[in-house]
Amino acid sequence: MSSDSYNSFCPVAKACEIIEPRWTLLILSELSHGARRFNEIRRGVPGISPTLLSKRLKEMEHHGLVRRTGFEAGEPGYATTPMADELEPVVQALGKWAHRNIDREISLEKLDAGLLMWNMRRKIDANVLPRGRTTVIQFTYPELAQEERHYWLVARPGRPVDLCLLDPGHDVDLFIRADLKAMTSAWMGWTSLSSEIHANKIALIGDRRLIASLERWMVRSSYAAAAAQRAVA
């Protein structure tokens, strides 16, 4: 019997044997949000090493949670299986439960600008941005080291929004200078963008149309509604 086994016929125990190994649920969450290539998964789960990610994906493939989809641009591709897709509402419910019940300050102890920007990137509503041209938005987090403080979101017509860690060389339409904790709190729904702007913790300089439509194109985390429910309660 495997050392990871609960030695029980209980269905909950059997489920835990498959989904409990560290990082498994985070990998499933990242795949459910559209990550497909190995390095995309790594960017959404930055704490895992390449070696351990490869091991976990093999284990998940063995258990029927993921399948290989071949190679794209030299990287292995992965997708969830119908078996894993059944877990998606469970993973979402777990995240909402944590967002409602774990103290905000505890959640904000571990800030990660790269992970925040990676998650913000996929929620940007490009349909609200100016059409027919490339839109570039630069985020700056002054408290971080020089090499870690700048990020660029690049929205090109007909393409997913890109996140750049180096200057893409385009004219910037909007500069956003923010305190990392304030931006994280606002995006996750503990506070609002407008309140953080009013408190001078987020500053915007540039295209007035982008500033006016900020709360429409910068769609907040899917867990923000859970924070609102907690505030009402």
pTM as predicted: 0.85
CA dihedral of 166, 167, 170, 174, whole degrees rounded to 10? 100
Q: Taking residues 121-146, what's their average pLDDT?
A: 95
What's the pLDDT score for residue 171? 95
What's the pLDDT score for residue 232? 46
Domains of the chain (ranges; CATH) run: 11-86 (1.10.10.10), 110-232 (3.30.1050.10)
Residue pair 228/192 in contact by the 8 Å Cβ criterion: no
Please give the structure tokens belonging to residue 30: 């990242």
* Residues 37-66: tens digit of each pLDDT: 999 999 999 999 999 999 999 999 999 999
